[in-house]
Structure 1
Amino acid sequence: MATMTVSLPDPMKEWIEAQIKKGEYASASDYVRDLVRRDRARRGQELTIEELRQLVADARASGIGTRSVDDLFAEAERMVGARGRLRE
């Protein structure tokens, strides 16, 4: 395993130490590894600009929708709820 030295402002260092004292993490290295894993997972879920442009183009090409705003919001809430369950 490689070693890396990182300089942090005192408030950040104190934050990490507090997380360790709470028992959230075993060490500062454990905390940083968790941050890196979470960031990698988050970035893996991001869409590229081209993917977003394609989604907009597809939406425009599909024409005017027939579903109500209430139906659309209900579907969005179901999707968000499903994503939350997948992360747990």
Structure 2
Amino acid sequence: MGMVKKSITVTDRQNEWIKAQIATGHFGNESEVVRELIRERQIREEETPAEIEAIRAALIEGEKSGFTGRSVDEIWQEARERHRAKNA
């Protein structure tokens, strides 16, 4: 995967939020934070209304079933896969 260096401008508040994200330990640097935000937006834009509804239904089902050791990302991914398999 190629990388392109970009220079961006953010507000003071956005800068503090980015720093806070890094401080949590989930990200190593500012670029990782921005790339993750872009990835999340790309995924959202690719989801159809039917996929979103399937994800919501899976989240409601999961909420009713109690606690899980899976992460939110794992739950979203499973819901997407179930929807795609059902509509393939």
After TM superposition, the score normalised by the length of structure 1 is 0.56
Of structures 1 and 2, the larger Rg is shown by 1
The Cα shift of 1:46 comes to: 3.8
CA RMSD of aligned residues (A): 2.5
Residue type matched to 2:76 in 1? L
Partner of 1:87: 77
Q: How does 1:6-85 map to 2 (within 5 A)?
A: 6-47=8-49, 80-82=56-58, 85=75
Give the number of aligned pairs. Answer: 59
Q: Which runs of 4+ in 1 moved over 3 A?
A: none
Unpaired stretches in structure 2, ≥5 consecutive residues: 60-71, 79-88
Unpaired stretches in structure 1, ≥5 consecutive residues: 48-75
Instruction: Say which SS state the counterpart of residue 33 (structure 2) adopts.
Output: helix
Between the aligned residues of both structures, percent identity stands at 29
Cα deviations by residue, 1:9-31 (Å, 9 ceiling, x for unpaired): 10100100011011021110000
After TM superposition, the score normalised by the length of structure 2 is 0.56
Instruction: Say which SS state the counterpart of residue 6 (structure 1) adopts.
Output: coil
Identify which of structures 1 and 2 has the higher relative contact order when contacts are C-alpha pairs closer than 8 Å and 6+ apart.
Answer: 2
2:18 and 2:40 mapped to 1: Cα distance? 16
